[in-house]
Chain A
Amino acid sequence: DQQVKQNSPSLSVQEGRISILNCDYTNSMFDYFLWYKKYPAEGPTFLISISSIKDKNEDGRFTVFLNKSAKHLSLHIVPSQPGDSAVYFCAASDSGGSNYKLTFGKGTLLTVNP
Chain B
Amino acid sequence: DAGVIQSPRHEVTEMGQEVTLRCKPISGHDYLFWYRQTMMRGLELLIYFNNNVPIDDSGMPEDRFSAKMPNASFSTLKIQPSEPRDSAVYFCASSWVLAGVGKETQYFGPGTRLLVL
Look across to chain B and name the residue whose beta carbon is closest to the beta carbon of A42.
Answer: B110
Contact A105 B108 (CB under 8 A): no
A93 at the interface (CB under 8 A from B): yes
One of B95, B97, B102, B104 near A51 (C-beta < 8 A): B102
B74 at the interface (CB under 8 A from A): no
Residues of B with C-beta under 8 A to A45: 107-108
> How many angstroms from the CA of A106 to the CA of B44 in the assembled complex?
9
- Tell me the minimal C-beta distance from B3 to chain A in angstroms: 9
- Tell me the minimal C-beta distance from A44 to chain B in angstroms: 5
Look across to chain B and name the residue whose beta carbon is closest to the beta carbon of A105.
Answer: B42
Which range contains the number of B residues in contact with the other chain? 20 to 34
B103 at the interface (CB under 8 A from A): yes
Residues of A with C-beta under 8 A to B7: none
- Tell me the minimal C-beta distance from B23 to chain A in angstroms: 11
Where the two chains meet, the residues of B that have a C-beta atom closer than 8 Å to any C-beta of A are: 4, 31, 33, 41-45, 48, 50, 55-56, 91, 93, 95, 97, 102-111
What are 11 sample pairs from A and B whose C-beta atoms fall under 8 A apart? Answer: A42-B111, A43-B91, A43-B110, A44-B91, A49-B103, A89-B43, A93-B104, A99-B56, A100-B103, A101-B48, A107-B43
